[in-house]
């Protein structure tokens, strides 16, 4: 069963788009880098040097970068990645800390993350080579739930957790419904399962701190239908294209074979046709044999 309305179409042929977006979809660079390259005089459209990123291109425009043809846009792909603690989810870090993209650069093409996990959090993060898909999956309107295993210090008041389902406002910031459940209470700490749909910056940590609990470990176990499962830290696994299509509410054309109705009989494959043909031939032979016997 699909979990999303098909408001995003995989590998859609775009009639017109900004030049920086086309370059990013080709997997050559980010949109920001594309704009810098254009200003540096490295990009041509239809043999004319481009001077500004504010330029719209169509499917038939010829684009070259450093006098080399722009590659065709890559097919949309999606990966699950188990982010370890201590990795920054950013393409650039002002403090020169190791980033997620430093860690995977030799294993994947140029990708971007679907949302983020903070430095001290771990668990599953989705990666894609399609910026449009990344933005689509981040929207709360998709209805995808993010689930977390959370360890906190202290003894839990389950009434406080129950009240979070109605949302909470902290320092002028409103956080939507959080579904929180106590899984295990120990002497000095406890494990919770928390499900959210918005995913504001450090949302779970801030809500727990507001309730008087300090978070000592936070693991994202799922993002929508995609589960962390038995993945280990730093594992990366690609989502099959057919699975991605299904979860987006789309189906490959070849997955469905059209049925042809003939009276009350429904024919769905050549194999069934041959079986039906044999039955018809057998019946015809029986009728001819009966006629010959009667003639005698």
Give the pair of three-digit tokens for residue 65: 């970068």
Q: Which 3 state secondary structure label does DSSP give 114?
A: coil
Q: Are 45 and 61 in contact (CB under 8 A)?
A: yes
Task: Choose the catalytic residue: 61, 118, 130, 255.
Answer: 118
> Exposed/middle/buried for 148, CB within 10 Å: 0-12, 13-18, 19+?
buried
Cα angle value 235/121/189 (rounded, 5°): 120
166 noted as active-site residue: no
Q: Which two tokens stand for residue 215?
A: 């978070």
* Dist. CA 225–CA 144, nearest whole Å: 8
For residues 266 and 258, what is the distance between their CA atoms, to the nearest angstrom? 10
**What is the Cα–Cα distance from 181 to 194, expressed in whole angstroms?**
6
Q: Which residue has the tokens 């030049």?
A: 19
Residue 28 is given by DSSP the state S
Q: Where are the alpha helices (DSSP H) in 186-269?
A: 203-210, 241-247
- What is the Cα–Cα distance from 17 to 32, expressed in whole angstroms? 15
Phi, psi angle pair for 174, to nearest 5°: -95, 130
Half-sphere exposure (CA, 13 Å, Cβ side) for 59? 4
Residues classed as catalytic: 118
């Amino acid at each position: 069963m699909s979990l999303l309305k098909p408001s995003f179409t995989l590998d859609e042929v775009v009639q017109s788009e900004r030049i920086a977006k086309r370059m990013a979809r080709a997997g050559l660079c980010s949109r920001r880098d594309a704009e810098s390259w254009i200003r540096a005089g490295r990009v041509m459209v239809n043999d004319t040097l481009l001077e500004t990123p504010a330029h719209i291109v169509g499917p038939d425009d010829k684009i070259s970068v450093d006098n080399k043809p722009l590659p065709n846009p890559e097919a949309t792909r999606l990966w699950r990645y188990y982010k370890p603690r201590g990795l920054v989810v950013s393409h650039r870090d002002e403090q020169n800390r190791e980033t997620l993209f430093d860690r995977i650069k030799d294993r994947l093409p140029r990708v971007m993350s679907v949302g983020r996990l903070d430095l001290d959090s771990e668990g599953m993060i989705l990666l894609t080579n399609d910026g449009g898909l990344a933005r689509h999956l981040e929207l709360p309107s998709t209805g995808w739930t993010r689930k977390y295993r959370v360890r906190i210090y202290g003894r839990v008041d389950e009434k406080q957790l129950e009240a979070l389902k109605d949302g909470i406002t902290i320092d002028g910031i409103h956080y939507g419904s959080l579904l929180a459940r106590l899984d295990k209470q120990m002497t000095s700490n406890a494990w919770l399962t928390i499900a959210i749909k918005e995913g504001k910056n450090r949302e779970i940590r801030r809500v727990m701190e507001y309730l008087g609990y300090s978070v000592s470990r936070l693991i994202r176990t799922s993002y929508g239908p995609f589960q962390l499962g038995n993945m280990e830290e730093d594992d990366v696994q690609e989502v099959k294209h057919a699975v991605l299509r299904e979860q987006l509410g789309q189906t490959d054309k070849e997955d469905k074979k059209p049925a042809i109705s003939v009276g009350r009989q429904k024919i769905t494959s050549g194999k069934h046709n041959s079986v039906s043909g044999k039955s018809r031939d057998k019946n015809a032979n029986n009728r001819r044999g009966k006629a010959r016997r009667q003639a005698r």
